[in-house]
Amino acid sequence: MSTGEAAGTAELLEPGGRTKSSSPRQIPVVSVVTEDESEQGVLKPMDLNRVIKLLEETDEVNKNDLEDKQLKCVKKLVQCYQNGLPLRDLAQMFKILNLCSGKIENQPLFVDCACDVLKLCGLPFLKKKASDEITYAEDTANSIALLGDLMKIPSSELRIQICKCIVDFYHAEPKKHITGYQQVSSSYKIHMAEVGGLAKTVVQSMAFLENQLVEKLWVLKALQHLSTSEVNCTFMTKAQAASTICSHLNDPDPSGQLLFRSSEILWNLLEKSSKEEIIQQLSNLECLLTLKEVFKNLFMRGFSHYDRQLRNDILVITTIIAQNPGAPMVESGFSQDLILFATFSEVKSQNPLVKGLKLTNSYEDFELKKLLFNIIVILCKDLATTQLLVHGKIILALFTYVKKPEKHKIVEWSAAQHEELQLHAIATLSSVAPLLVEEYMLCQGNARVLAFLEWCESEDPFMSQGNSFHGTGGRGNKFAQMRYTLRLLRAMVYLEEEAINKDLCEKGLIQQLIGIFKNTISKHSEKEEAIVLEIQSDILLILSGLCEHHVNRKETFGTDGVNIILHVMRTDPKKLQSGLGYNVLLFSTLDSIWCCILGCYPSEDYFLEKEGIFLLLDLLALNHKKFCNLILGIMVEFCDNPKTTAHVNAWRGKKEQTAASLLIKLWRREEKELGVKRDKNGKIIDTKKPLLTSFQEEQKVMPLPANCPTVAVMDVAENIRAKIYAVLGKLDFEKLPGLSAEDFVTLCIIHRYLDLKIGEIWNEIYEEIKLEKLRPVSADAKILEAITTASENIGKMVVSLQSEMIESQARQDVQNEQKVYSKIQATHKQRELANKSWENFLARTSNAKTLKKAKRLQEKAVESSRYNERPQNAIFHRTDIKGLNTTVASGPVVTVESTPARIIGGPLADTDLALKKLPVRGGALQRVKAAKTAEELKKSNPK
């Protein structure tokens, strides 16, 4: 190594083998100005054009004299600009630098001159005006970009100095004030380097540094600084920086700086540029083989804190690359080594790579273990890795963590670390075990999982730390363990492997899960609400997967299972908007109704008895579109039970809304969202295409294979109209209560939905035949025409029926309106009569003539109401009071003379009641004669 290289290496490294990332270089400057000028900071620039002209001269005769003259001129120039380069002179200074660099190959003495000028470029630039930054921006960017081009010159000193200059952009210290100038901020120089694309040319210069370690390290240091910018990372990505740097990771480097700086650059590229592009560049065999060797060396021989950190960084980069399905992880042998490293402490292996290896409980080794579990999840997505996982006994290794903590056992991890690894292992099993069913069963996976689940439910004291991502919500309890165990069970159940599901049911999983669900209802607090909701959702999904298509398992689910479903359905609807997971739980509940209740008649009847249909309709009335399809599907199946109809018809929602009215309202809303054409009254507009949606209208008819459903057929499954038709059909269209006229108009369409849909499909077939330019035989043509005509006639018939209903309703509205008007008129007339009576009364009390006239009219009316002929022997009693000046009724009580007993007789003649005298008090009635006493009556009638 030369003296310059040794000096460069010394500057590059710290005593501990790390980078001096924040220590600026001190550039020695030889002053040629006077002492007074130096103190005042006066800049006296030279005539740069003259210097350029001198450097461009050639003289073969006096070659040495010219060279000396040129060298002296450049040294003088450097002394003049020792405090910084003005922006206005920058383009000329870099031209001088370029000329000096061009002479190096033939005139080695110019190396020092070029390096001195480069040192000036590392100083802060100077500006005389604030506008200089904008005025000279293009010149500055082009000048700085020239630094990358100068890396092609085969001079080690020059290349190192260029890299130092670039690093100084980020760490240059401000110099003393220069009279008449201001220093440009370092961010300006960094920005100009971005604009000029310096990073790209620096990356390309690495092609000239194959066996030159010191220069390579300085280039990496420069790139490390440049890669802190997104713009530079983009330029570096275009120059294939990732693959270039990665392929040299394993180059010999006693200092360790190459690996450290390269990994930092790769990290920056992944974070600040296109991640997909970087992964693509690294997804080749050469890069993966290099990463593999680097990781193995660090894993087996890296004992320092720094080496362990670097090892983990390399593993994270590898994990990111492994996400690319096209990365040759298996072909490079990296996958096999990673699986070995992930399982060597749990499964005994004779492989020499791990012989004698042992992980400590240090933070770096703990992170490594988690990273290895994580990369196993990514690797298992590639089916080519499956056999490697089997050979590596990954299932057995992961199951060593699926057990309750054993007391008084010496382990290499702390309690908190072991808990986190346990949760991570169970999460990894959820991804790996479904791919390795045979190994799962050989390890008695079901028995292990159920035993661990039983411990999770037990009252055994366990102080969970809950301080990791997987332990969220599980501090002080076993909810985190239960959560991941249920995820594992859900993954295995939904494989629909009958051997696994049958084994789980025989071990009593259904009853165990129902018991766990009940316990979570009674024991959880609000702090764990989100995680408990997830646990409950997973329980219901597992039960659905076990019970679907198996009536005997539905019977085992039984009334206890129905009760937990009903409990969830009674949840306050406001909680559905809380974001805690009630929506997911409700979806799981509806799925469990479908899979665990429907088809089992005792469970169906119990569900109906507990008002389950009412709860379903309450949910449907909430008008949450995401639930409607599933609820209506359940309703269709439930309506096969003859007891369901009475429950549906008995339901009443807000404002006494019936189920039929609710379903028809949902139909109208669905058609509005689908863009089906209807007039303001809800009538069909286009009788040829009465059910056509806006999407179907946009999707023009195109010929499809026979096994591909057309747009009209797919429409049946993609919206809720068919389900509404099915439910109302099972309820009987003719006996639907609580419908308005608008509902009846819509019901006409629903009633004919199937006929109209069949016609729509035939029209689609007819259009396809036209597009294919086929000519059907005459018989087929007649049949096709008859079908399309019949379909259109059905649409016309529906329109006619709708029109009749609308007209009938209009007439009814008119009649109702007339009745209302009649009531209003009668009310007004009664009010007028009352007012008139009151006016007459006031007139009689204030005018004597009016009172007399009224009295005469009253007496006349009384006389006219009496019989003209009186019966013989009749006694006439007067009912009016003489001398009473009033025209209103006297009152309900009057006193009359008693009828003589000889004339009337009867059983009451001799009673005490007939002898009593009516006491009348007050007013004119005091002047009326009293009745005769009993003695006078006896005298007048001795019999």
Residue 615 to residue 650: CA distance in whole angstroms? 12
The percentage of the chain sitting over the pLDDT mark of 90, rounded to a whole number, equals 48
Tell whether the model's pLDDT for residue 505 goes beyond 90: yes
Region of residue 17 (phi > 0: left; psi between -120 and 50: alpha; otherwise: beta): left
Residue 658 to residue 654: CA distance in whole angstroms? 9
Tell whether the model's pLDDT for residue 502 goes beyond 60: yes
Tell whether the model's pLDDT for residue 625 goes beyond 80: yes
384: which 2 tokens?
A: 């080519």
Span 723-748, average pLDDT: 91
Tell whether the model's pLDDT for residue 902 goes beyond 70: no
Q: Of the ranges 542-546, 703-707, 814-818, which one carries the lowest mean pLDDT score?
A: 703-707
Tell whether the model's pLDDT for residue 305 goes beyond 60: yes
Q: Give the tens place of pLDDT for each residue, 79-97.
A: 888 888 889 888 888 888 8
Span 821-844, average pLDDT: 92
Residue with the bigger pLDDT between 427 and 62: it is: 427
Report strand pairing: 182-183 vs 126-127: antiparallel
CA dihedral 869, 870, 876, 881 (to 10 degrees): -10
pLDDT tier, 920 (very low <50, low <70, confident <90, very high otherwise): very low
Kindly tell me the number of DSSP H helices and DSSP E strands found in the chain. Answer: 46, 2
Q: Which residues, 6 or more positions from 910, have their beta carbon under 8 angstroms from its beta carbon?
A: 901
Task: Give me the pLDDT at residue 61, please.
Answer: 56
Task: Give me the pLDDT at residue 2, please.
Answer: 45
Residue with the bigger pLDDT between 870 and 265: it is: 265
CA angle 339, 345, 348 (to 5 degrees): 85
Question: Are the C-beta atoms of residues 249 and 311 closer than 8 Å to each other?
Answer: no
Q: Which residues, 6 or more positions from 722, have their beta carbon under 8 angstroms from its beta carbon?
A: 716, 753, 757
Residue 323 to residue 714: CA distance in whole angstroms? 35
Tell whether the model's pLDDT for residue 449 goes beyond 50: yes
Tell whether the model's pLDDT for residue 699 goes beyond 60: yes
CA-based torsion, 822, 824, 825, 826: positive or negative = positive
Residue with the bigger pLDDT between 53 and 426: it is: 426
User: Residue 746: which of 731, 726, 725 has the closest Cα?
Assistant: 725
Q: Of the ranges 288-302, 308-322, 398-412, 742-756, which one carries the lowest mean pLDDT score?
A: 398-412
Write out the H or E segment, with its range, that includes residue 526: none
Strand partners, 19: 13
CA-based torsion, 801, 806, 812, 814: positive or negative = negative
Strand partners, 684: 678
Other Cβ atoms closer than 10 A to 672: 10
Task: Give me the pLDDT at residue 570, please.
Answer: 92
* Cβ burial 535-552 (10 Å sphere, 16+ → b, else e): bbbbbbbbbbbbbbebee
Residue with the bigger pLDDT between 178 and 610: it is: 610
234: which 2 tokens?
A: 């983009």
Residue 753 to residue 722: CA distance in whole angstroms? 8
Question: Are the C-beta atoms of residues 432 and 376 closer than 8 Å to each other?
Answer: yes
pLDDT tier, 20 (very low <50, low <70, confident <90, very high otherwise): very low
Q: Give, in order, the Cα–Cα distances in Å from 30 to each of 76, 81, 749.
A: 9, 11, 99
Tell whether the model's pLDDT for residue 103 goes beyond 60: yes
User: Residue 86: which of 121, 119, 53 has the closest Cα?
Assistant: 121
CA dihedral 306, 309, 315, 316 (to 10 degrees): -140
Tokens 């429907």, residue?
A: 598
User: Residue 691: which of 708, 670, 707 has the closest Cα?
Assistant: 670
Task: Give me the pLDDT at residue 897, please.
Answer: 57
Tokens 């065999």, residue?
A: 285
DSSP 215: H
Tell whether the model's pLDDT for residue 37 goes beyond 50: no
Task: Give me the pLDDT at residue 496, please.
Answer: 92
The backbone torsions φ and ψ at residue 183, rounded to the nearest 5 degrees and listed phi first, read -80, 140
Write out the H or E segment, with its range, that includes residue 182: strand 182-183
CA atoms within 13 A on the CB side of 470: 22
* Cβ burial 917-934 (10 Å sphere, 16+ → b, else e): eeeeeeeebeeeeebeee
Task: Give me the pLDDT at residue 212, please.
Answer: 87
- What sections of 227-331 are H helices per DSSP? 230-238, 241-246, 257-272, 275-282, 285-301, 305-322
Residue 72 to residue 116: CA distance in whole angstroms? 12
Q: Which residues, 6 or more positions from 930, have their beta carbon under 8 angstroms from its beta carbon?
A: 917
Span 751-764, average pLDDT: 91
pLDDT tier, 351 (very low <50, low <70, confident <90, very high otherwise): confident
Q: What is the CA radius of gyration of the chain?
A: 51
Other Cβ atoms closer than 10 A to 689: 22
Task: Give me the pLDDT at residue 712, please.
Answer: 86
CA angle 482, 483, 489 (to 5 degrees): 85
Task: Give me the pLDDT at residue 626, please.
Answer: 87
Tell whether the model's pLDDT for residue 929 goes beyond 60: no
Task: Give me the pLDDT at residue 43, please.
Answer: 63
DSSP 685: S
Span 682-706, average pLDDT: 85
User: Model-level pTM?
Assistant: 0.76
Residue 296 to residue 298: CA distance in whole angstroms? 5
Question: Are the C-beta atoms of residues 428 and 371 closer than 8 Å to each other?
Answer: no
The percentage of the chain sitting over the pLDDT mark of 70, rounded to a whole number, equals 85
Strand partners, 126: 86, 183
Residue 280 to residue 295: CA distance in whole angstroms? 20
- What sections of 847-941 are H helices per DSSP? 848-864, 901-904, 912-915, 934-940
Q: Give the tens place of pLDDT for each residue, 139-149.
A: 999 999 999 89
Span 635-658, average pLDDT: 93
Tallying the residues shown for the chain, one arrives at: 943
CA angle 709, 715, 719 (to 5 degrees): 140
Residue 88 to residue 85: CA distance in whole angstroms? 8
Question: Are the C-beta atoms of residues 75 and 113 closer than 8 Å to each other?
Answer: yes
Tokens 């096999």, residue?
A: 336
Q: Give the tens place of pLDDT for each residue, 352-403.
A: 888 878 888 889 999 999 999 999 999 998 888 999 999 999 999 999 999 8
- What sections of 675-740 are H helices per DSSP? 694-698, 711-718, 721-731
Residue 535 to residue 542: CA distance in whole angstroms? 11
User: Residue 538: which of 575, 492, 573 has the closest Cα?
Assistant: 492
Other Cβ atoms closer than 10 A to 804: 11
User: Residue 269: which of 256, 253, 280, 255 has the closest Cα?
Assistant: 280
Span 862-888, average pLDDT: 71
**CA max distance for the chain:** 190
Task: Give me the pLDDT at residue 39, please.
Answer: 40
Considering the chain, what is the average pLDDT of its residues?
84
Q: Which residues, 6 or more positions from 700, have their beta carbon under 8 angstroms from its beta carbon?
A: none
Tell whether the model's pLDDT for residue 899 goes beyond 70: no
